[in-house]
Amino acid sequence: MNFNRSESGLYLPSPPPKTVDEIAREQRQAYYDAHRRCPRCGSNQIERTTVGYIVPPDENRATCGCGWTGIVHDLVEDAQDSPEDSE
Ligand SMILES: [Zn+2]
């Protein structure tokens, strides 16, 4: 087992290596996080189809309440000053 020296000076066991499934899940989540909001109005109230595209771009249809339509790949990530609307 490998040990990493922490900021406190203690040697702590390093976390186990990630599995392929975990990495894939993180990448899907990262892609999802980067494509959450309408590029026109910034809303995250997006209706989207759920075809399982394995690799980007995600070409599921996305429709916003403001009338914008496109694909999930066209959506934008959360901005710092985004309105706090519910999911
Ligand atoms: Zn919109």
Q: How far is the CA of 83 from the centre of ligand 1 (A)?
A: 12
Assign residue 86 the CATH number of its domain: 2.20.25
> What is residue 81's predicted lDDT score, i.e. its pLDDT?
59
pTM (whole model) above 0.75: no
Q: How far is the CA of 12 from the centre of ligand 1 (A)?
A: 47
* Residue 5 belongs to some domain of the structure: no
Q: How far is the CA of 27 from the centre of ligand 1 (A)?
A: 25
Q: Give the separation between CA 27 and CA 75, rounded to whole angstroms.
A: 16
Q: How far is the CA of 45 from the centre of ligand 1 (A)?
A: 8
- pLDDT tens by residue, 34-64: 999 999 999 999 999 999 887 889 999 999 9
* Residue 74 belongs to some domain of the structure: yes
Q: Give the separation between CA 48 and CA 17, rounded to whole angstroms.
A: 34
> What is residue 83's predicted lDDT score, i.e. its pLDDT?
53
* Residue 11 belongs to some domain of the structure: no
Q: How far is the CA of 42 from the centre of ligand 1 (A)?
A: 6
> What is residue 1's predicted lDDT score, i.e. its pLDDT?
58
Domain that holds residue 74: 18-87
CB 36 within 8 A of CB 62: no
How many domains would you assign to the chain? Answer: 1
